Amino acid sequence: MLIRHRYYLLILAALFSVWWVAMAIHPWHRSDWLLENALVLAGVVLLAMFHRRLLFSRVSYTLIFLFMCLHQLGAHYTYSEVPYDAWFQHLTGRTFNRLLGWERNNFDRVVHFCYGLLLAYPIREIFLRVVNVRGFWGYFLPLDLTMSTSMLYELVEWGAAAAFGGELGQAYLGTQGDVWDAHKDMALASLGALIAMSITAVINWRFQRDFAQEWVESLRVKHKAPLGEDELARMTRKQK
């Protein structure tokens, strides 16, 4: 039997709490760890506040859990200093970067990609269950929101780096000298979300009987009267 949603959420919460405590012990840069955990705290509070009104699927909770665990790993070491290369070399005798031809620490790029890959589906659940979107919009809007929030995060990084400055600002920003770092991060998050929504669409196309009909209906014009100044004129006439 599948574990009930609330029990499953409690199990993941307990596992994340253990991981969070482990990653909170002697982080490499405590100030950067605190900054990185500000958004984590906000996310946990929101999930706790709304879990009774909006209980996600086990799939969504698992994806959120995986992303937050990756983020905590990056927060512990700082994203640009996660020693995945040393770990891989200890296991295999060769570096992971040399294997893929990388010249920088790309843990931050991997997590940005996972942001889109892992969180696009939970975002889709919100659009389907709260906004009640269907068809094309049930795939496009999660992709669009993932892209826009990725852009907002880059602005937050820039603002924090400018506000704090010095080593803390550089550690939080983590560009490693790449002037296109923000653009690449946003592109990877978008790619991850595109892959997630493509996989979801293929699964639904395979098993959802009215898949094509739903897409056609979602693109049909529902209200043919124009808005803007025409709608303003209609509203003012109603008030007279």
pTM over 0.85: yes
What is the pLDDT, as a whole number, of residue 31? 85
Instruction: Locate 107 and state its tokens.
Output: 């843990």
pLDDT (0 to 100) of residue 156: 82
pLDDT of residue 205: 96
Domain ranges of the chain: 5-220
- Given a cut of 50, the residues of the chain with pLDDT beneath it are none
Q: What's the rounded Cα separation, in Å, for the pair 117 and 60?
A: 11
pLDDT digits (tens, 9 = 90+) for 181-232: 888 999 999 999 999 999 999 999 999 999 999 999 999 998 888 888 888 8
Phi, psi angle pair for 148, to nearest 5°: -70, -40
* Helix H or strand E segment including 155: helix 137-164
Chain-wide mean pLDDT for the chain? 89
Per-residue pLDDT tens digits for 34-45 = 988 988 999 999
Side chain identity at 230, as an amino acid letter? D
Q: Cα(229)–Cα(60) distance, rounded to whole angstroms?
A: 41
